[in-house]
Chains A and B, each alone.
Chain A
Amino acid sequence: MSSLATNIRVVRALGLRSIRQTFRRPQLIAPIIVFPTLLLAIQTGGAGGAVELPGFPPVQSFLQFMLAGAMMQALMLAGNSGGIALAVDIEMGFTDRLFAAPIPRFAIVLGRLAGTAALGLFAALWFLAIGLIFGAEIESGVPGALLAIFLVTTAAMAVGGIGAAIALRTGSASVVQGLFPLVLVVLFVSSAFFPVDLMIEPAKTIAEYNPLSLVVEGIREPIIAEIDAADTLYAVLAILGIVVFGLLLSARALRHRLRVG
Chain B
Amino acid sequence: MEATAALPAWRANLATIAAMMARARNELVRVPGAAIPGVLAPTIFFLGLNGVFGALIQLSGFDANTYEAFIVPISMLQGAGFTGAAAGVNMARDIEQGWLDRLLVSPAPRWVLLAGTVLGASTRALLPATFVLAIALALGAGFPGLDGLFVTYAMVMAMAAVAACWGSFLALRFKTQSAAPLMQAGMMALILLTPAYAPLALLQGWLQDVADLNPVTEVVEAARQGFVGTVTWADTWPGLVAVAGLLALLGALALRELRRTGR
Interface residues, chain A, with chain B CB atoms under 8 Å away = 25-27, 30-31, 34-35, 38-39, 41-50, 52-53, 62, 178, 180-181, 184-185, 187-189, 193-194, 198-200, 202-204
Contacts and interface: CB of A to CB of B under 8 A. Distances in A.
Closest 8 CB pairs of A and B: A45-B207, A203-B51, A188-B48, A46-B197, A200-B54, A30-B181, A48-B204, A45-B204
Contacts of A50: 53, 55-56, 59
A47 B53 contact: yes
Interface stretch (B12-20, B146-154, B155-163, B186-194): B186-194
A178 B33 CA distance: 10
Interface of B: 37, 40-41, 44-45, 47-56, 58-59, 67, 178, 180-182, 185, 188-189, 192-193, 195-198, 202-204, 206-208, 210
A200 B55 contact: yes
A18 to B, nearest CB: 18
A45 B196 CA distance: 10
B73 to A, nearest CB: 15
Contacts of B196: 42, 46
B52 A49 contact: no
Contacts of A39: 192
B41 A181 contact: yes
Given A48-B203, A187-B48, 4 more contacts: A49-B198, A178-B37, A188-B47, A203-B48
Given A46-B196, A47-B197, A200 B206 contact: no
Contacts of B189: 38, 42
B128 to A, nearest CB: 13
Nearest to B209: A45
| From B59, B67, B195, B197, residue with most partner A Cβ within 10 Å | B197
Contacts of B55: 50, 53, 194, 198-200
A259 B55 CA distance: 51
B77 to A, nearest CB: 14
Nearest to A42: B192
B44 A53 contact: no
A172 to B, nearest CB: 13
A49 B56 contact: yes
B197 A42 contact: yes
A43 B48 contact: no
19 contacts: A30-B181, A41-B207, A42-B192, A45-B203, A45-B206, A46-B192, A46-B198, A47-B198, A49-B204, A52-B59, A62-B204, A178-B37, A181-B37, A181-B40, A185-B48, A188-B49, A200-B52, A200-B67, A203-B51
